[in-house]
Homo-oligomer: A and B are copies of this chain.
Amino acid sequence: MTASGTSSSSTITVICGGVGAARFLRSLIRVVDPALVTAIINVADDMVLHGLSISPDIDTVTYTLADAIDPERGWGLREETWRAMEAIRRYGDGDWFSLGDQDLATHLHRSGRLADGATLTEVTREIANSWDIGVTLLPVSNDSISTHVTRADSGEEISFQEYFVGERHGVPISSVRFDGIENASITEEADRAIRTADTVIVAPSNPIVSIGPVLAVPGVQNALAASSAPCVAISPIIGGQALKGPAANMLAELGHSPTAVGVAELWSDLIDVLLVDDDDASLSLDVAATGVTPYVTDTIMATPERGARLAASTLSAAQLRIGSSS
């Protein structure tokens, strides 16, 4: 890598949650060769439902990069049908977590392969290959990790999916716990992808429940510390709000500032540069005060063109660190 720009063979590793990360990756491969990009994806939203192993963030990234995601819902497959879910109502099962008929095939395949002894890393690669995705998709861990949140109202601990889907993230929380994370470990593949990347990017995903559990997997911090690559994040918070989802509320409820400054504080040990939206330009000095270099730009990927510009800006921002530290 040279200070004058990313070389044509610079590798990029992106720390990912679901929707925001998927959109960023889709933008990124408009400006770089997908073969140079590796996504390290959160697995703490994963769950077993009706006997099936479900990996929401991996699937959202996969379907988005395959251009198969439903654009209205933002999750699941386009032109989906819901015959199985309609039929399951007969049995009185809560259908709070809807699985489309075509989407079920992904879960059936994954569950069957895992039962056969394949790792989540292997199955994720197989599924990505089936969709002809050029980006390398890696779960951060093959181990089972499960996010739980404590409701501030009742003190009850509920699973992330009950909070996120069942309660539509409408209840305040007082804490977050990643069940099983002490016994989990980073995969060899994810470890290598972080250590050897020329640029590390933290995608604009929920800092608490998407990026948080990735960073908390034993081994991830060591891999990041061993990397000399610039690490750039895109703030998922714009004007005190997340574009989608409960990130701002969660930050505030857990005692962080629900702003780009709060994000910079959270990751000041990790990232060199934070992309801050134009709307938050006034926060630049406060971001800089955390020790993170602010890079103010348009961070809303409302069109393919704006997404591509954000991806290019992110790579430029990485150069900024290299420039400043050289």
Interfacial residues, chain A to chain B (CB-CB below 8 A): 48-53, 77, 81, 83-88, 90-93, 99, 101-109, 111-112, 114-115, 126-127, 130-131
A112 B51 Cβ-Cβ under 8 A: yes
Q: How far is A81 from B109 in the complex, measured between Cα atoms in Å?
A: 18
Residues of B within 8 A of A86 (CB): 102, 105
Which chain B residue lies CB-closest to A100?
Answer: B83
Looking at chain A's contact residues, the main secondary structure is helix
Given that A93-B109, A109-B88 are contacting pairs, would A51 and B83 also be in contact in the complex, using a CB cutoff of 8 Å? no
- Of the listed residues A50, A85, A87, A101, the one surrounded by the most CB atoms of chain B closer than 10 A to its CB is A50
**20 A-B pairs (CB sep. < 8 Å):** A50-B52, A50-B111, A50-B112, A50-B115, A52-B52, A52-B111, A81-B83, A83-B101, A83-B102, A84-B84, A84-B101, A84-B105, A87-B102, A87-B103, A88-B105, A90-B105, A90-B131, A91-B105, A91-B106, A101-B104
B51 A115 Cβ-Cβ under 8 A: yes
Kindly list the 10 A-B residue pairs having the minimum CB-CB distance in the complex, ordered from nearest: A51-B111, A87-B105, A50-B108, A83-B101, A88-B105, A50-B112, A87-B102, A91-B109, A84-B104, A101-B101
A105 B85 Cβ-Cβ under 8 A: yes
- Of the listed residues A51, A81, A107, the one surrounded by the most CB atoms of chain B closer than 10 A to its CB is A51
Q: How far is A111 from B51 in the complex, measured between Cα atoms in Å?
A: 5
Which chain B residue lies CB-closest to A90?
Answer: B130
Q: A50-B112, A77-B87, A99-B108 are in contact. List 12 more A-B contacts (CB 8 A).
A: A50-B52, A51-B51, A52-B52, A84-B101, A86-B102, A86-B105, A87-B101, A88-B108, A88-B109, A90-B105, A90-B130, A93-B112
